[in-house]
Amino acid sequence: MKKSISILAATMFFISSAAQTINIHFKNGQKVQFTEENVDHVDFSPKPDDPTLTPGEVVDLGLSVKWASCNLGASTPTEFGGYYAWGETSTKDEYTEDTYTYYDKSTNRYTDIGSEIGGTSYDAATVNLGKGWRMPSVGHLKELMMCKHEWTQVDGVNGYLFTGPNGNTLFLPAAGTIWSSSVNHPGKDLFYMSSTKYDDKWINVLNEDLSVSNYLDVRTWAVYYGHTIRPIYYEPIENPVENIESYVTCVQTGVSTIVSSEGTYYAKTIKITNSSSADIQLISLCNADIRQTLAANSSTEITVQSKNNYPYPNELLFSYNGNSYIIGW
């Protein structure tokens, strides 16, 4: 259960037979009340050990890129760090549509700064940290979600712990988001900004918001909200292939149905071709983990399946030179 109550110390005295109210006060200002007649007993259990975090400035989870161990503007993994509007490279006091740098109130229009700003002058991670650092794209966030992840606490701070294929760990604190001038839902929800825009007014964000759902996913939020950023790091390739996504194609070559005692499975076979002069890293196909290298000027056929006709997306996620790409068919 996401919300848990840990009582470190409590002393209760019942000085009369009259029913009394038991108040539990939390450090975040929350108060929970119980009446004496509804309480059977109070006991104490030791606080579980905090998860062990992988040390260092960057964390190698065994993915296509490395992840910063802290949020942008933070010095420890549990600090929230700064909050940024999409395309802005510094923090500010108020986050509204009217204070957004790329919104013109007189025309009610947004300035087009591109749909993907990773590694550009609009990328807060690149501007503040330098070459090799950037904001994660929506593809990087989807790759991160493929790791084992669980809601937990580190040093008393709520958030998600991600464990990569190599066993290393990364913690993202639930820092909430800023609309106007106050932080909303700190310690309860998280909103991690990507470098990828959904449309003029919305961007893709790694999010768990109790008002929407109780699971982690990539969702869309307003460009002018203040969101936290977890930077990624990569070693840039010299003379990279430009527009590499134009060299990668997917063609469905087969469909089949498998019926078993466990249910009905619908499978499809996809031929992936990389006609570029560079190797690429395949990450997922139709949301299935297919992590492998696809060499330059080569092809591979992969079969994926879903149970009970679950609608999985016709898309391939792959990475190259620190960037991630999603192509459909």
In a domain, 46, yes or no: no
In a domain, 72, yes or no: yes
31-35, 197-201, 247-251, 311-315: least confident range? 31-35
Q: Place 250 in a pLDDT band, splitting at 50, 70 and 90.
A: very high
Check whether residue 262 and residue 222 sit in a common domain: no
Residue that is last in its domain, among 203, 233, 263: 233
Check whether residue 156 and residue 271 sit in a common domain: no
Instruction: State the CATH number of the domain containing residue 323.
Output: 2.60.40
**Residue 238 CB coordination number (10 Å):** 6
Give the model's pLDDT for residue 209: 60
In a domain, 48, yes or no: no
Residues of the chain with pLDDT > 70, as a percent, come to 85
Check whether residue 295 and residue 199 sit in a common domain: no
Higher pLDDT, 88 or 236: 88
The answer to whether residue 86 scores a pLDDT higher than 60 is yes
Check whether residue 272 and residue 228 sit in a common domain: no
Check whether residue 85 and residue 120 sit in a common domain: yes
5-19, 128-142, 160-174, 286-300: least confident range? 5-19
Helices (H), the chain: 124-129, 138-145
The 10s digit of each residue's pLDDT in 204-237 is 999 886 555 567 889 999 999 999 999 999 988 9
In a domain, 12, yes or no: no
Considering only CA atoms, which of 105, 73, 76 is closest in space to residue 91?
Answer: 73
d(CA 149, CA 163): 6
d(CA 34, CA 19): 10
d(CA 170, CA 230): 10
Highest mean pLDDT among 3-12, 29-38, 214-223, 254-263: 214-223
Check whether residue 71 and residue 217 sit in a common domain: yes
Residue that is last in its domain, among 201, 233, 265: 233
How many domains in the chain? Answer: 2
Residue in the block written with tokens 């790091």:
233
d(CA 279, CA 321): 10
Counting beta carbons within 10 angstroms of the beta carbon of residue 263, is it exposed (0 to 12), middle (13 to 18) or buried (19 or more)?
exposed
Report yes or no: 51 and 171 within 8 Å, Cβ to Cβ: yes
Residue that is last in its domain, among 186, 210, 233: 233
Hey, is 138 helix, strand or coil? helix
Check whether residue 316 and residue 190 sit in a common domain: no
The answer to whether residue 31 scores a pLDDT higher than 90 is no
Domain range spanning residue 137? Answer: 58-233
Bridge-partner residues for 246, per DSSP? none
In a domain, 90, yes or no: yes
The 10s digit of each residue's pLDDT in 131-169 is 999 999 999 999 999 999 999 999 999 999 999 999 999
Check whether residue 66 and residue 208 sit in a common domain: yes
d(CA 94, CA 110): 18
Check whether residue 129 and residue 77 sit in a common domain: yes
Check whether residue 220 and residue 256 sit in a common domain: no
In a domain, 195, yes or no: yes
Check whether residue 168 and residue 309 sit in a common domain: no
In a domain, 295, yes or no: yes
Check whether residue 171 and residue 113 sit in a common domain: yes
Report yes or no: 299 and 229 within 8 Å, Cβ to Cβ: no
Question: 30 is written with which tokens?
Answer: 């929350």
Q: Place 21 in a pLDDT band, splitting at 50, 70 and 90.
A: confident
In a domain, 51, yes or no: no
